[in-house]
Amino acid sequence: MPRSEDELATIMLMNGIGTILSYVGELFMIYSYFAHPYNRRYSMKLVISLIFSDVGYTFANTLSYFNRNHHICFIEGFLRCFFVISSLVWVMIMLHISYKQIVNPSPRIEEGYPKLLALNIGLSMVPVIVVAFSHLTSQEAYYGHFLGFCGVVPEFWEMVLIEVPMWFLIISTGFYIYWIVRAMRTLHPNKTNVEYRSIIIYPIILTVLWLPNTIDRIIYFFTDDTIYEIALLHIIATRLEGFANAVIYGKRHLKILKAAKKRSLTSFLKSGAFAQELQISEADL
Higher per-residue pLDDT: 249 or 276:
249
Give the confidence band of 281 by pLDDT, cuts at 50, 70, 90: very low
**Identity of the residue numbered 115:** K
pTM over 0.95: no
Task: Evaluate whether 7 touches 228 at the Cβ level (below 8 Å).
Answer: yes
pLDDT of 54-83, one tens digit each?
999 999 999 999 998 989 999 999 999 999
Q: How many CB atoms lie within 10 A of CB 40?
A: 11
pLDDT of 119-138, one tens digit each?
999 999 999 999 989 988 88
Q: Which residues are CB-contacts of 84 (< 8 A; sequence separation ≥ 6)?
A: 57, 162
